[in-house]
A and B are shown apart, each in its own frame.
Chain A
């Protein structure tokens, strides 16, 4: 158990059954008065923010979160299924929980799945992923319009801007932290 003295930015605790991350913390204590511990916390499942004030003597249950390497298998409607290659255990995540990460999920991609108990609450991706361009306009040779990028769709359905020389069927590298084109895979 944590006490109020353990409260600080970055602490993960359980509140009303959900894991929360402390994102801001301050200690206030008016003269001759009792100490108050003010926190701002983010729900690690749905991202909502919460302000809570605690007093001396209160305690918290630590949120034990586990990260496990899993492989992305398939998508059915809004549900994405991942599997632990060692134990063959499968977890399902909703599109909403995945957020932007869904743009880079290609079958068999290895990702780190964050587990809170049995429940998968998020994934971390490799910083760079390789995806094939499935649709983009042909670059007209001698185009002097000055456009230095054009839209392209990759095999996951994600649309991003790429340099004009990228052609359909090419494999490109995308930075998952920014969602932007990084380079082209040679050969």
Chain B
């Protein structure tokens, strides 16, 4: 029933906010309408006024706040991505992002464990578990961390780089890996993605082919994506240009460069940031399988 889902949604959002306030994070509101998002191959912003687009994520603005010296930041805001609609996608959705200066992606993994335990303890005090496709997922059971390479080898008997080359990465991930992760009784972290799949992440020092990026899966549902931030402006510009080049080859619009961000990036301290889908967190808390059940209105209802 939607009335109950909206109460739960409000409670989850309030609880997330409490979590970060208690830990000394600054809650920020950055503009939703911006001149440029980070250009990515497979993310299409919604263009509104000429030269302005809705944010696909608040990351550009939040990283600029890190450059100005803020240490711990969080934001719960609306994001928009064109043409994304399915049982776990809405074009307009709610994202939680948090950033930490002086940390790498491992600190964020620990944050994820604390946050999910905090949310179930406060919002689901009787059961203290998430539910996805009738499977119960207990965030208090130790979380498994698996490298992307190992996950592809173990669950799919294939090499992830080989899949990428053949254009089969998404197919294997969504039809083999994610269903395998759905059977886990605790959340799972997939980590160390091939650099092709981490446009804004720092490369691992010991292995130049992998980036310090991770994804959090709960019941096989992708809930959050975090990484150690790349703060080399030359490398970052180069990756944005590559993304635009791939877009152009695929017949997609070339996107404008976030110039002020690029010019500040050299001043960004070592830091890490993460984005978590709030609608999906509510889905897992409510034990429902469709995003339609946790929002006040779907676009089709408007």
Known: A5-B83, A27-B89. A32 touches B174 (CB 8 A): no
Within 8 A of A (CB), among B158-202: 169-171, 173-175, 178, 193, 197-199
Distance (whole angstroms) from the CB of A92 to the closest CB of chain B: 42
Q: How many A-B residue pairs have CB under 8 A?
A: 52
Known: A27-B89, A28-B174, A53-B171. A35 touches B84 (CB 8 A): yes
Within 8 A of B (CB), among A11-35: 26-35
A57 interfacial by beta-carbon distance below 8 Å: yes
Known: A28-B174, A57-B250. A33 touches B197 (CB 8 A): yes
B40 interfacial by beta-carbon distance below 8 Å: yes
CA distance A145 to B173 in the complex (A): 64
Known: A28-B174, A29-B89, A57-B251. A34 touches B42 (CB 8 A): yes
CA distance A5 to B225 in the complex (A): 25
Known: A33-B197, A57-B250. A27 touches B173 (CB 8 A): no
B229 interfacial by beta-carbon distance below 8 Å: no
Known: A57-B250, A57-B251. A33 touches B86 (CB 8 A): no
A32 x B197 contact (CB < 8 A): yes
Residues of A within 8 A of B84 (CB): 27, 29, 35
B250 x A28 contact (CB < 8 A): no
Distance (whole angstroms) from the CB of B139 to the closest CB of chain A: 20
B87 interfacial by beta-carbon distance below 8 Å: yes
Contact of A32 among B88, B171, B225 (CB under 8 A): B225
Distance (whole angstroms) from the CB of A32 to the closest CB of chain B: 5
CA distance A156 to B137 in the complex (A): 58
- The A interface is mostly helix, strand or loop, or mixed, namely loop
Residues of A within 8 A of B40 (CB): 32
Q: Across the two chains, which residue of chain B brings its CB closest to A33? A: B170
B215 interfacial by beta-carbon distance below 8 Å: yes
Which of A26, A30, A34 has most B Cβ within 10 Å?
A30
Interface residues on A, range: 10 to 19
A36 interfacial by beta-carbon distance below 8 Å: yes
B44-62 Cβ-contact flags toward A at 8 Å (1 or 0): 0000000000000000000
A32 x B198 contact (CB < 8 A): yes
Distance (whole angstroms) from the CB of A15 to the closest CB of chain B: 19
B292 interfacial by beta-carbon distance below 8 Å: no
Residues of A within 8 A of B197 (CB): 32-33
Known: A27-B85, A27-B89. A33 touches B199 (CB 8 A): no
Residues of A within 8 A of B173 (CB): 30, 33
B222 x A30 contact (CB < 8 A): yes
Within 8 A of A (CB), among B53-99: 83-89
Residues of A within 8 A of B169 (CB): 30, 33
Q: Across the two chains, which residue of chain A brings its CB closest to B198? A: A32
Which of B86, B225, B251 has most A Cβ within 10 Å?
B86
Interface contacts beyond A30-B170, A35-B170: sample of 7 additional A-B pairs, CB < 8 Å, sorted by A: A5-B83, A26-B87, A27-B84, A27-B86, A32-B40, A32-B225, A56-B250
| Sample of 27 A–B contacts (CB below 8 Å) | A5-B83, A26-B86, A27-B85, A27-B86, A27-B89, A28-B88, A28-B170, A28-B174, A29-B84, A29-B86, A29-B89, A29-B170, A30-B169, A30-B174, A30-B178, A31-B215, A32-B193, A32-B197, A33-B170, A33-B173, A33-B197, A35-B83, A35-B84, A36-B170, A53-B175, A56-B250, A57-B251
What 7 A-B pairs are tightest by C-beta distance, nearest first? A27-B86, A33-B170, A31-B225, A28-B174, A30-B173, A26-B86, A32-B197
